[in-house]
A = this chain, B = another copy of it.
Amino acid sequence: MSEGLVKSVPAGFRAAGVTAGIKASGLPDMAVLAADVPCAVAGVYTTNQVCAAPVKWCRALTPCGDGRGVVINSGNANAATGEQGLADAKRTAAIAAETLGCKPEQVLVASTGVIGRLLPMPVIERGTTAAIAALSRDPAAFEAAARAIMTTDTRPKVVNLRKAIGAADVTLLGIAKGAAMIGPRMATMLGFLLTDACVRPDDLRSILAFATDVSFNCLSVEGHASTNDTVLLLASGQGKPLEGAELETFAKLVQEACQALAMAIADDGEGSTHFVTIDVLGCRTRDEARAIARTVAESALVKTAIHGADPNWGRIVSAAGYAGVPFEESQLSLSINGVVVYDRGTPAVIDEQALSASIRSQRPVDLVLQFTLGSASSRFWTCDLTAEYIHLNADYTT
C-alpha cells in the first residue's frame, strides 16, 4: 500500500492506521498518532455552532505542553450526538490513555463521517487498542494513518518537509482528509501536523492560527462548513524553544505545509474535473480580497461554467459584485488562464473558442481578479462542480 509519500518521520512520533469496522466498505477507519514524550500541541477548530463532540473535547485541552497522542476515526462524525457523544469522545481518550500510560486529558480525539449517529463504541474500543498495538515509526505507518482518516477522498494527503533552522534540522509531517463539506471559516476538515521542532505551546498556537488562515481558510469545495473541522500541530522537540527569526522560519514552514494540504484537498474535491486557483489582487484589505475570492469560489454558476470549459466570465464578475465589498465596475479587471476578458469595467475582445480550449485541455484553471482599490490580496483554492458531485451526494447515508 505504501506509495513512498512519507520520507522523513519527525523524531518522537509513531503512527498506525487500522481497519476497526466502522465503515461498511471494510476500508481502514482508525488511526493513532502517538508522541513518545509529552509534546506541545496547538489546535484550530470549526466555528460551526453545531460542533462535534471531539471538537469540544480538543478545544478544552489545547494549547498544552503535555500532549501524548491523537485517536482519529473515519466513517462517523460523532456530531449532533448530544451528551452521549461527548461521553464517547472522552471514553475513547481514556482507553488510549490507559495503554499509552498517561491521563485521558493528554489524548486528543477527532472524528469524520456521517453526522447524527452515535459512535459504535465496542468497535471504537477494539480499534483504538489495535491501533496502539500497531504503532510504529516506519514511514509506511504514517501513510497508513493518512489512509485511515479518508472518507470520500480518492487519495491520501501528505506533506513532508525538512529545513535547517538554526542548529536544528527540523522535520515536519502533515496529513489531512477532506473532499466535501469543505467551506472552512476559521479552521477546516481534519489536518494533523507533527514536528520535532521545539516550540512553546503559545507560539505554536499563533503559528498554527496564522498558517490555517492563509491555507485551509482559503479553501472551499461547496462552502458547507463542517461540524468537525480540526487542525492539530504537535511539536515533540525537547530543549530550548525556537525564538525570533528561527521561530519565523518555522512559521513559514508550517504555512507551506498547510497550503500544500489545502491545495491537495481542493484538487481532490468530490467529482471535480478542474482545480481552480483564484487570485484577488489590489484590494483594500486581505479580508475583502478573501470575501470576493470565496464568493467566486462558491458560486455554483462559476463552478459549472468552468466544468463546461465555458468562458462565461459574466458569472465571475457578478459573483464578485455580491461579495459585500464596495467597488466600481471600472475598478475591476478579470483574466482567465492569462487572458484578459474584462478590462476596467468593459468587455475585452477575446477568442472564446481558444479560451474554452485552454480551460478544457488542463486540470488547473487560474482566475485573476485585479482591483485598483489598494494593495491587499488573497489566494483561494476550489474545484469545479460536476454531475458526479451530485451523484455522490444525492445518496450518501441511505
Q: Is the CB of A321 within 8 A of B50?
A: yes
Q: Is the CB of B394 within 8 A of A224?
A: no
> Which residues of B sit under 8 angstroms from A114, Cβ to Cβ?
312, 314
> Which residues of B sit under 8 angstroms from A356, Cβ to Cβ?
398
Chain A interface, DSSP helix/strand/loop, else mixed: loop
Verify if A189 is at the interface (C-beta below 8 Å from B).
Answer: no
Specify how many copies of this chain sit in the oligomer.
2
Q: A308's contact among B47, B222, B225, B394, by CB below 8 Å, is which?
A: B394
Nearest residue, chain B, Cβ from A184: B322
Q: Is the CB of B320 within 8 A of A49?
A: yes
Q: Is the CB of A390 within 8 A of B116?
A: no
Verify if A397 is at the interface (C-beta below 8 Å from B).
Answer: yes
> Which residues of B sit under 8 angstroms from A47, Cβ to Cβ?
322
Q: Which of A164-198 contact B (CB under 8 A)?
A: 180-181, 183, 185
Q: Which of A294-315 contact B (CB under 8 A)?
A: 298-302, 304-305, 307-315
Q: Which of A333-359 contact B (CB under 8 A)?
A: 341-342, 345-347, 352-353, 356
> Which residues of B sit under 8 angstroms from A49, Cβ to Cβ?
320-322, 325-329
In the complex, what's the smallest C-beta–C-beta distance from A11 to chain B, in angstroms?
38
Nearest residue, chain B, Cβ from A348: B116
Binds B, one of A33-41, A76-84, A153-161, A279-287: A76-84
Q: Is the CB of A48 within 8 A of B80?
A: no
Q: Is the CB of B115 within 8 A of A314?
A: yes
Scan A76-96; emit 1 where CB is below 8 A from any B CB, else 0: 010111111000000000000
Verify if A391 is at the interface (C-beta below 8 Å from B).
Answer: yes
Nearest residue, chain B, Cβ from A114: B314
Verify if A223 is at the interface (C-beta below 8 Å from B).
Answer: yes
6 closest A-B pairs by CB: A115-B314, A308-B394, A50-B321, A225-B322, A304-B393, A387-B387
